[in-house]
Amino acid sequence: MMMIYMTLCLGITISSILTVMCLLISKKSNMDREKSSPFECGFNPMKSAREPLSVQFFLLAVLFLIFDVEIAIILPVIIDTKWAMTSVWITSITMFVVVLILGLYHEWKNGMLEWAK
């Protein structure tokens, strides 16, 4: 028990010392015009970098991320076929794909996949 307590105290002490050192050593840089401007390979910016992002593009990107994660989840399930019963495996995969297809259908019907309106 004493070893755990000593390790905990040592970890807290080291992290506190490092935090204080970082605060003391770091210097604040003044925000000048060059540092706050967007980087465009040495050229002057063509337009403002603070333009609003298209909501349609954002929704399409989120939809892509959802399907990308779902594919990453579904790929290891193939390895599970060695240990699972076939009927249970087919049922679970079918339900998973049906939920994905229903979500895609819902997005399609709400017009989320329309790029230009």
Per-residue pLDDT of 90-108, as tens digits, reads 888 888 889 888 988 988 8
pLDDT score, position 39: 64
Measured distance CA(90)–CA(6) in Å, rounded: 52
**Model confidence at 10, in pLDDT bands (50, 70, 90)?**
very high
Residues in Cβ contact with 10 at an 8 Å cutoff, skipping those fewer than 6 apart = none
13-30 pLDDT, tens per residue? Answer: 999 999 999 888 876 656
> pTM surpassing 0.85?
no
26-85 pLDDT, tens per residue? Answer: 766 566 666 666 666 666 666 666 777 777 788 788 888 888 888 888 777 777 777 777
Q: Find where tokens 């910016």 sit.
A: 45
